[in-house]
Structure 1
Amino acid sequence: MIVGLAIILVFVLFLPFTIPYVERNLEVFLFIMGIASVVVSGVWNYELVLKALKDPIHITLAVIFAGLIFNWVQKPFEKGIKRVSRILPFRLFLALIIIILGIVSSVITAIIAALVLVAIVTVLRLDRKSEVRFVILACYSIGMGAVLTPIGEPLSTIATSKLNADFFYLLRLIGPEVIPGIITFGMLATILIHPTQKNRGLIVKQKKESIGDILTRGYKVYLFVMALTFLGAGFEPFITRFLLVLHPYILYWINMISAVLDNATLAAAEISIEMNEKTVKSILLGLLISGGMLIPGNIPNIIAAGKLNIKSVEWARFGVPIGLIAMVIYFIVIVIAG
């Protein structure tokens, strides 16, 4: 079983970067790998299938309805973005978007924050390099900020429930680390994003999507989330056997697998009410940061990359180095605080 799961993990990590057909059909590929993982680990059952069918429903509906609503309000939204971008220096405007979305994602949920991000990007005329960098920095911010309340994303809901904690527990526990991180990701936009002079701050009117386009995107998100549910369940025996006995510092780095596995499932498998706060903090920060490295690592990544046609290689080229630097910085903070 362990050898089989290790092979599947290698496939998930490397095939999307090396085989163009896999890259173009990433949702189907991950779905197949998810099915393979639950078969290899022997956890295939009716309850899991039902869960995999139900888990993606809310996010899929949110994606579809947000797409329909944005089609309706597209014109005034474009004018609003244009007005604000004229008032502020453009790179500062991008930084503020990243910071604001990161902070409010804990209230409006990571899903809605990601959909707002996509809506903003689609009306900004950014060159491709700037667009990819902006989206990745914003997804890091959203992914981290959403965990500050139980309603922000599934990971925070699961963690709060397993720890029998109150609504503001995660804000108190990791807020002092997460909020400066959100601000830092925003400030990085002013340093690392350099829109070309021709495109800087300009708005391009977007062609409205058809109903078919919106439904197709919803289908892809549904399949993606279903695939992550299967992958998380399939790898749970592997996690239980090898990870739960490790020191918190080691677990922090091991949790980089959340770049390709559902971080909510990893949190469900790893977090226990018997753990001290230092251990819980190490687990959560490791999951949050590494979740931004690759597209499958977090729901905002999936939504943004799917809508904006960002390829796995494009994401990894910028997302992985940023994530590794953040992992090192936060590890130093955890060690010093400990």
Structure 2
Amino acid sequence: MEMVATLGLLVIFVLVLVLPFRVKCIEHNLEVFLFACGVTALTISGFMTIPGEQTGWSLKIVTEALISPLNIATLWGIPIGIVQIVLLVGLLIYFFYHQMQRAIINLVDRFSLKWIVFLLIVVLGLVSSIISAILAAIILIEIVNALPVVRKAKIDIVVVSCFSIGLGAGLTPLGEPLTTIVVSKLSGAPYHAGFAFLFDNLAIYVIPAVIALGVIGVFLFSRSHTGGTKLVCNVEREQPRDIFIRAGKVYLFIMALVFLGDGFKPLILEYIINIPPAGLYWVNIVSAVLDNATLAAAEISPALSLTQITSALLGLLIAGGMLIPGNIPNIIAACKLGITSREWAQVGLPLGMVLMAVFFVILFVPAWLGFV
């Protein structure tokens, strides 16, 4: 029975990877599809046994799925939820529509579009570790949505920026749930991780990567926005009904990720965490479709070396930008701008694979060659 259940989970994983790119109906209703896959995966996982771990449905998992969208991160010690922020910012933009449009017009008048793109990617990437990835993503999409650029350029800017925000958020426990979990798990001996632990160990990789992403973003923007068509700044004034519908979609999305993460936990605990560091780095590409906080909770432990912890975290943070379900900023941006799975993957997959390859060389090749 367990072998059948394992095969069932693998089939669901393949469906999650493939169908959003092949079936139009699923592509435009991704949150509903992922929710159905999450429910199915969690049901199947109940037929598997992991010593010391709860599998399948439980009141705890249902409660977590219901509460997580409303309490997904901590900002300055205050619990915040993605749904409340999406609602609040949407309503603020509705009521202060004209003021925001004037502010963005002034921004475009003072700076070139290329500088705006570069600064958006770099500044939001770096400050996301303090203001949280959620707030950084919402600031990003409201500015990008109003910029006088073509749709393809907006998609390029947003995808690259979400990579930057996802990486930058990994520098402090305030950034996203993954970082909070990691610091908590490593708070005891031998690491005694505190607020600066992640910054001390990841900043040397993350900060140059965020700056490089700014340059890449400008290049992609220049290629996709020719400037041939004269466009104007336009802050979209959604109706309150549309704002609440989008918040509901985000809520369903987060619930789906909770169910998927717990549903695939038996595979993670049984197979993934036993892979050697270099292999685990690449296997963490599954973070593109699974909740990276769940993967971090399963993989990270005080028994790992600092090199193992660093490589696992970087793999999770980078892969999270490849596809829409991989990270919270991706979900917010895709829901607001109507970006499809295919549109995201056309930019996210090649960029993510290049970043994974570059960091793999930096992290592992020098040690194999005996330089460290």
TM-score range, shorter chain: over 0.9
Residue 148 of structure 2 contacts residue 234 of structure 2 at CA under 8 Å; is this kept in 1?
no
Q: Pairwise mapping of residues 98-247 of structure 1 onto structure 2 (< 5 A)? A: 98-164=121-187, 165-194=193-222, 195-199=225-229, 202-247=231-276
Q: Which amino acid aligns with 1:50?
A: T
Residue 17 of structure 1 contacts residue 312 of structure 1 at CA under 8 Å; is this kept in 2?
yes
Residue 146 of structure 2 contacts residue 236 of structure 2 at CA under 8 Å; is this kept in 1?
no
Residue 146 of structure 2 contacts residue 235 of structure 2 at CA under 8 Å; is this kept in 1?
yes
- Secondary structure of the residue aligned to 1:22 is helix
Distance in 1 between the 2:95 and 2:163 partners? 28
State whether structure 2 residue 40 is matched by structure 1 residue 36: yes
Out of 7, 21, 32, the position equivalent to 2:11 is 7
Out of 327, 331, 337, the position equivalent to 2:360 is 331
Deviation at 1:131, TM superposition (A): 1.0
Deviation at 1:318, TM superposition (A): 1.1
The total of aligned residue pairs comes to 337
Deviation at 1:68, TM superposition (A): 1.1
Give the corresponding residue for 1:291.
Answer: 320
Cα 1:77–1:337 shift into 2, 3 Å: farther
Residue 104 of structure 2 contacts residue 233 of structure 2 at CA under 8 Å; is this kept in 1?
no
Return the TM-score normalized by structure 2.
0.88
Q: Which amino acid aligns with 1:40?
A: I
Deviation at 1:173, TM superposition (A): 0.9
- Secondary structure of the residue aligned to 1:151 is coil
- Secondary structure of the residue aligned to 2:96 is helix
Deviation digits for residues 171-194 of structure 1, max 9, x if unmatched? Answer: 011111011111111111221212
Distance in 2 between the 1:116 and 1:199 partners? 26
Cα 1:86–1:337 shift into 2, 3 Å: farther
Residue 78 of structure 1 contacts residue 203 of structure 1 at CA under 8 Å; is this kept in 2?
no
Deviation at 1:270, TM superposition (A): 0.7
Residue 53 of structure 1 contacts residue 226 of structure 1 at CA under 8 Å; is this kept in 2?
yes
- What percentage of residue pairs aligned between the two structures are identical? 45
State whether structure 2 residue 27 is matched by structure 1 residue 23: yes
Deviation digits for residues 29-67 of structure 1, max 9, x if unmatched? Answer: 100100011111112111110111010111111111111
Residue 125 of structure 1 contacts residue 199 of structure 1 at CA under 8 Å; is this kept in 2?
no
Distance in 1 between the 2:344 and 2:270 partners? 31
Return the TM-score normalized by structure 1.
0.97
Distance in 2 between the 1:45 and 1:36 partners? 14
Distance in 1 between the 2:218 and 2:168 partners? 20
Of stretches 123-132 and 138-147 in structure 1, the one that deviates more from structure 2 is 123-132
State whether structure 2 residue 330 is matched by structure 1 residue 312: no
Of stretches 87-96 and 71-80 in structure 1, the one that deviates more from structure 2 is 71-80
From the two aligned structures, give the one with the greater helix fraction: 1
Deviation at 1:129, TM superposition (A): 1.5
Q: Which amino acid aligns with 1:67?
A: G
- Secondary structure of the residue aligned to 2:234 is coil
- Secondary structure of the residue aligned to 1:56 is helix
Distance in 1 between the 2:63 and 2:366 partners? 42
Q: Which amino acid aligns with 1:313?
A: R
Deviation digits for residues 217-238 of structure 1, max 9, x if unmatched? Answer: 1000000000000000011110
Deviation at 1:116, TM superposition (A): 0.5
Q: Which amino acid aligns with 1:329?
A: V
Distance in 2 between the 1:178 and 1:87 partners? 29
Distance in 2 between the 1:240 and 1:199 partners? 53
Deviation at 1:199, TM superposition (A): 4.6
Deviation at 1:207, TM superposition (A): 4.2
Greater C-alpha Rg: 2
The alignment's C-alpha RMSD in Å is 1.2
Q: Pairwise mapping of residues 31-110 of structure 1 onto structure 2 (< 5 A)? A: 31-42=35-46, 43-57=56-70, 58-110=81-133
- Runs of at least 5 residues in structure 1 that lack an aligned partner in the other structure: none
Cα 1:41–1:126 shift into 2, 3 Å: same
Give the corresponding residue for 2:370.
Answer: none
Of stretches 270-279 and 84-93 in structure 1, the one that deviates more from structure 2 is 84-93
